[in-house]
Amino acid sequence: MWSFAALVGSVIILVLWLWEYPQSTTLAAIGTPGMFLGAWAGVLWWRNRINETRLRELAELHRRRDAVTGMWNHHALYELLESKLRQAGEEQAPLSIIRIDIDRFTLFNATHGHVAGDELLRQVGNTIAMLLPPEVTSGRYDSDEFLVILPDTARGQAMTIASHLREKIRQATLAQAASGEAIPVTVSIGVACFPTDATSAQALLAAAADALAVARQNGTGVADTCSNWRTRYRIHTNGGFSTLEAMVIAIDNKDRYTRRHSEEVTEYAQWIAEELGLSEEEKHTLRLAGLVHDVGKIGVPDEVLLKPDMLTAEEYEAMKQHAVLGAVMVAALPGMEQIIPIVRSHHERWDGRGYPDGLAGEQIPFLARVLTVADAFSAMTTDRPYRKGIDWRSALSELQGQKGKQFDPLVVDAFIASINRRGMLSQQQGEEELLAAA
């Protein structure tokens, strides 16, 4: 039977051995049983240390994971976003976030119960995770909301990803009611981008929340900070502008294509204006003109405006009247004098073969020439019911081919330079590859 001295000796040996004292070898002579006991105690101590470390890691992981979906939770997502934003700032790289909200989730929970609600959250979360590359961060940010963090992703690609996610969720997710009935699920999505929309995590999340609210309101389901034109372009409500807003809303409700097209035209016109070094006043005039340039389409018959096929010659003549009608409508509003000639002349051609007045060259108001290029590029690259939009490279080639014919050469060169400076062609290619892989 081991003596008390041997037991004490083994403890001393263990302590000295762990701290690597030289004397431990000498004290080991107290006895072989003590040595074995010390070694055994040392193994137990290290095993406990390892287990404690693992438990702490598991506790930290549990603290950062959502209990329902297993995805990153609100706390972890916010920390990760702050980290990614610091990295993006250091590298001067873009970053986008996507906030995804399940439509009418509260009503679904109240009607079908929390068990069904939790299963719906898991389905949506799994769909999001499955569609995104492993390096993309996603998680459950709120009770019925998910967040996706996209480093090195600019606005255009983020919007493409958002639209793709929304459609795939709609196709893949069916909620199960208690009766077993399958219920289709839709989501609304808001997109915000660093550094153009905000430079801090809190501000960027707020910008995405604003875009999400717009997505719910306008019926498109996907919106970015550019979509809320009234806020983005500082159009304050007064008698004239509230009437203008009503006009824009009316044409949006009549033709959903017009909303997105007008926003794109406005954005492209701003790129050209920046490249040409135009004044802030000229940029603001272009913003307003871009947003309302097609407002005259409200007077075009639905069977022409919404026709899913190419227009006949007679129908095309009816469509051409929107430029004149739009100018008349804008002229009825106070403070819009600078906008009128742009709206009227945005379909004139450099070679004089445009409409409605057949103006040529520098007879065409300069800002109208800017808007013409932006308008044509958006029209060429946007899908319509009767034809698919062409890719950006092909559209730019078309602009080049029409320099001095349809378009002012100076404006075309400025637009192409702005595209190249922003690296938009490589982004566009990335979007096409993403959609092709989906």
Output the DSSP codes for 216-280: HHHSSSEEETTS-HHHHTT---SHHHHHHHHHHHHHHHH-HHHHHHHHHHHHHHHHHHHHHT--H
Q: What is the pLDDT of residue 396?
A: 93
DSSP alpha helix (H) spans, 65-113: 74-91, 105-112
Q: Which pairs with CB-CB distance under 8 Å and at least 24 residues apart come from 388-395?
A: 391/428, 391/432, 392/419, 392/424, 392/425, 392/428, 393/425, 393/428
Q: What is the pLDDT of residue 305?
A: 81
Mapped to the 3 state alphabet, what secondary structure does 350-395 carry? CCCCCCCCCCCHHHCCHHHHHHHHHHHHHHHHCCECCECCCCHHHH
- For residues 268-303, one letter each, b for 16 or more C-beta atoms within 10 angstroms of the residue's C-beta and e for the rest, the string is bbbbbbebbebeeebbbbbbbbbbbbbbbbbbbeee
Residues linked to residue 151 through DSSP beta bridges, in sequence order: 95
At 102, phi and psi to the nearest 5? Answer: -75, 120
DSSP state of 68: T
Euclidean distance between CA atoms 76 and 65, whole angstroms: 8
Residues 173-196: pLDDT tens digits? 666 655 666 677 889 999 999 988
Residues 291-335: pLDDT tens digits? 889 888 888 888 888 777 788 889 889 899 999 999 998 888 877
Q: What is the pLDDT of residue 57?
A: 53
Which amino acid makes up residue 218? N
Question: Which residue from 423, 430, 432 is spatially nearest to 388, judged by alpha carbons?
Answer: 432
Euclidean distance between CA atoms 168 and 150, whole angstroms: 18
Hey, where are the domains in the chain?
4-64, 73-227, 230-438
**For range 159-179, the mean pLDDT:** 80
The pLDDT of residue 347 is above 60: yes
Question: Which residue from 223, 154, 157 is spatially nearest to 421, judged by alpha carbons?
Answer: 154
Question: Which residue from 134, 160, 150 is spatially nearest to 88, judged by alpha carbons?
Answer: 150
Name the CATH superfamily, with its identifier, for domain 230-438.
Answer: Hypothetical protein af1432 (1.10.3210.10)
Q: Which residue has the tokens 């304050």?
A: 236
- For the domain bounded by 73-227, which CATH number is listed? 3.30.70.270
Tokens for 273? 């204006």
**For range 425-430, the mean pLDDT:** 56
| More confident site: 388 or 429 | 388
Q: Model confidence at 238, in pLDDT bands (50, 70, 90)?
A: very low
Q: Is residue 137 within a helix (H) or strand (E), and if so which, with residue range?
A: strand 137-142
Task: Please check whether residue 399 is in contact with residue 412, taking contact to mean a CB–CB distance below 8 angstroms.
Answer: yes
- 146 by DSSP, 3-state: which? strand
Residue 149 CA neighbour count, 13 Å, CB half: 25
Residues 215-234: pLDDT tens digits? 877 667 898 877 654 444 44
- Give the highest mean pLDDT range of 20-29, 39-48, 186-195, 307-316: 186-195
Q: What is the pLDDT of residue 72?
A: 93
Q: What is the pLDDT of residue 48?
A: 63
73-227 and 230-438: same fold? no
**For range 417-431, the mean pLDDT:** 68
The pLDDT of residue 420 is above 70: yes
Q: What is the pLDDT of residue 236?
A: 41
| More confident site: 65 or 431 | 65
- Percentage with pLDDT > 90 across the chain: 34
Q: Give one word for 320, left, alpha or beta, with left for phi > 0 and alpha for psi -120 to 50.
A: alpha
Mean pLDDT, all residues of the chain: 80
